[in-house]
Chains A and B, each alone.
Chain A
Amino acid sequence: MITSDMLLNIIENMAHVMKENKGYLTELDAKIGDSDHGINMDKGFSAVLEKLSSLKGQDCGTILKTVAMVLISKVGGASGPLYGTAFLKSAAVVKDKMEIGGQDAIAVFDEAIKGVKMRGKAEKGDKTMLDALIPAYEVFKESIENGEDMVKASFKAQEAAYNGVEYTKEIIARKGRASYLGERSIGYQDPGATSSYLLLKTIWCTLDKV
């Protein structure tokens, strides 16, 4: 069970992780993109961080929706509308709820991925954040359905996301700026998949400490 306070805690940690990895993500993006992913993610999540104190006591839907709107307006790059849509779609699932249970979490994750697919018109294997998110979702769902708790499920999810990031090194980018590079994009990991992995890892790290 994730309470709305825990959700705020997760988001706060996400903002810290994005700041810590600002240089790293930008460096990855410099190799196959437009060198702004870390800067953009930090910009967006720093703005989210400023809003968090005003969200104390709010329901999970409101929290996720606010995060979405801030990311959409502050990020600047493709990750703004993509992560923004992901948060926006997942917000609808937990509207008015003060807690996110296992089944809710599966639905939140599922809607987030549908949002990214819809906005980015991408699929698994295109060398995008979906290559981290989709395998993570699959093991997360399986774990919860097998009766495992959220800590275990989120651990498995971030592990699968990590493997997904590794997989992006082997494939050609078919979406975004990196697609201009064609075969030359092979050998480099996708920055978007990497930030998705870092965000999922933050969920696990936060839940593990509770």
Chain B
Amino acid sequence: MVGIVIVSHSEKVSKGAVELCYEMADKDLKIVSAGGTEDGRIGTDAFLIKEGIEEVYTGNEVVVLADIGSSIMNAEMAIDMLDEEIKGSVLILDTPIIEGSIAVAVQASISNNIEDIIKAAEDAKQMKKVRNE
């Protein structure tokens, strides 16, 4: 299955997102939180993200969802530091972290098709929550 790594500046947010995902996702799906710094501050840590990616990598793709600021930069840094074998399988998704994580986790529970997972992330970005009719 596709692995999922959720990166937030706040460890509580990324852990909460993982929790929300498992409400709906297949329990065998590997979803990990890589949020906050190693000493519990608000921030992101490239090494923590790298470990997260390695943890969920099973030979299929790994998708990374990140919030704002340095999280994307540190996710890219983490990918740069990976072994060549894993590096090409990792993708950062451009999507809101909570909505995107849930959509991606549900889609990844249904199929391994990476295009469908990318589409689910894209759709989550466009999703309309309030309709003024």
Given known contacts A72-B47, A76-B41, is B69 in contact with A81 (CB within 8 Å)? no
Q: Which DSSP category, helix, strand, loop or mixed, fits chain A's interface?
A: helix
Q: How many residues of B contact A (CB 8 A)?
A: 16
Which secondary structure characterizes the binding site on chain B?
loop
Q: Would you call B23 an interface residue if the criterion is a C-beta within 8 Å of the partner chain's C-beta atoms?
A: no
Name the A residues within 8 Å of B46 (CB-CB). 72-73, 80-81, 84
- Whether the pair A40, B73 counts as a contact (CB closer than 8 A) is no
Identify the interface centre among B70, B74, B77: most chain A CB within 10 Å of its CB.
B70
Cα A120 to Cα B43 in complex, Å, equals 16
Chain A to chain B contacts (Cβ below 8 Å), 25 pairs: A34-B42, A36-B41, A36-B42, A43-B41, A73-B45, A73-B47, A76-B37, A76-B44, A76-B70, A77-B43, A77-B70, A78-B69, A78-B70, A78-B73, A80-B43, A80-B46, A80-B70, A80-B74, A81-B70, A81-B73, A84-B77, A119-B73, A119-B76, A120-B73, A177-B69
Extra contacts, 8 of them, besides A80-B74, A84-B46 (Cβ < 8 A), are A34-B42, A40-B43, A76-B37, A78-B73, A80-B46, A81-B70, A82-B73, A85-B77
Binding site for B on A (CB under 8 A): 34, 36, 40, 43, 72-78, 80-82, 84-85, 119-120, 176-177
